[in-house]
Amino acid sequence: MMHHDELQRTLNPTCTGTSVIAMQYKTGVVVMTDRVVSYGKTARYKNVSRQYKVNDNVLVAFGGDHADFQWLQNVIERQALFWKRFDQEIGPKALHGYLTSLLYARRCKMNPLWNTLIVAGIEEEEKNNKETSTPFIGVITQKGCAYQVKHVATGIGAMLLNQAVEDSWRKKGGDITRAEAEAVLKKALELTIYHDCTADNDFEIGSVDSEDGVNLGKEETIIGDWSIAETNCQYE
């Protein structure tokens, strides 16, 4: 028999965000999300940011349930304030670890947070040291499986884009510039809108840079190339 309070758990996400794509460049990280929150296959809420600026070093982007993420924003803010009490700014690695534990603890309660999170940032103490400064991208899945990467696409993007993004990244041998990284991400978004019916062509590119700090991106739009539609003739 199903336990009564199971009805109150997120066993199905309702309003969701789709893929997040992020890439490291020489001195920072760029993170791209589209700006739609879907209810099933409908584009329920448009012009919604799926990125959250924690402080000047850390940015969190999400895919998955939007309500869960809004709750998470609250939790993250509280954690950031907790660090502030000791005159500290929470760094990306610490936040990544904290959120991993949080998501894992919730899955152990069989009451999961329905999110895939990307934590992007730069450690404060490494900021000024150009030699050791390594931008950070950490991924956390809904069940608390966490890992670090140099480039990533989550959600359906993991299947569609991971390889293409990896190939572009490898071609530059890791010496990719910010403009190049952004170009790869924009192309990647164009490729998701062709296949992911919950992806949108309105997007934003947030960034964490060792000099500029965190910048939430401006809203941008792409149209893509739909000329192929003209050849779409199913005559037998």
Partner 1 sequence: MACSFTGIAKNGPNPYSEMFAFKAAMKAAEAEPVWRTSRIIERQRWNPYSFEGGSTCAIAGENFAILASDTRLTQNDINILTRDGEKMHILNDSIVLATTGFYGDVLQLKKVLQSRLHKYRFDYRSDMSVDLCAELLSRNLYYRRFFPYYTGAVLAGIDEHGKGAVFSYDPIGCIERIAYSASGNAEPMIIPFLDCQIGHVTLSDEAEKPPLTLERATSLMKDAFRSAAEREITTGDKIHLIIAEAGKPIVQKFLPLRED
Partner 2 sequence: MGHKAPRLTSTGTTIVAAAYKGGLVMGADSRATAGNIIADKHCEKVHKLTESIYACGAGTAADLDQVTKMLSGNLRLLELNTGRKARVITALRQAKQHLFNYQGYIGAYLLIGGVDPTGPHLYMCSANGTTMAFPYTAQGSGSYAAITILERDFKPDMTKEEAESLVQRALEAGMHGDNASGNSLNLVVIEPTATVFKGPIIPDFCKRPEPNDLEYKFNKGSTKVLKQKAYKYDIVESMDISH
Q: Where do contacts with partner 1 occur on this chain (CB under 8 A)?
A: 1-4, 7, 11-12, 100-101, 104, 107-108, 110, 112, 139, 141, 143-149, 152, 158-159, 162-163
Task: Verify binding: residue 51, partner 2, rule CB under 8 A.
Answer: no
Task: Verify binding: residue 64, partner 2, rule CB under 8 A.
Answer: yes
Member of 57, 100, 141, 207 binding partner 2 (CB under 8 A): 141
Member of 48, 67, 149, 164 binding partner 2 (CB under 8 A): 164
| Distance (Å) of CA 20 to CA 49, 52, 161, 204 | 12, 13, 10, 11
Size of the site for partner 2 (CB under 8 A): 36
Asked if 72 contacts 17 with a C-beta cutoff of 8 angstroms, the reply is no
Task: Verify binding: residue 234, partner 2, rule CB under 8 A.
Answer: yes
The minimum distance between CB 179 and partner 1, in angstroms, equals 25
The minimum distance between CB 34 and partner 1, in angstroms, equals 21
> How far is the C-alpha of 234 from the C-alpha of 147, rounded, in Å?
44
Closest by alpha carbon to 19, among 5, 7, 31, 6? 31
> How far is the C-alpha of 20 from the C-alpha of 185, rounded, in Å?
10
For residue 152, which amino acid is it?
Answer: V
In terms of CB distance, is 112 or 206 closer to partner 2? 112
Q: Mutual orientation of helices 178-195 and 162-171 as an angle, nearest 10°? A: 160
How does DSSP classify residue 222? -
Which residues of the shown chain bind partner 2 in the complex (CB under 8 A)? 13, 16-18, 38, 63-65, 114, 116, 141-142, 154-156, 159-164, 166-167, 187, 191, 194-195, 198, 227-228, 231-236
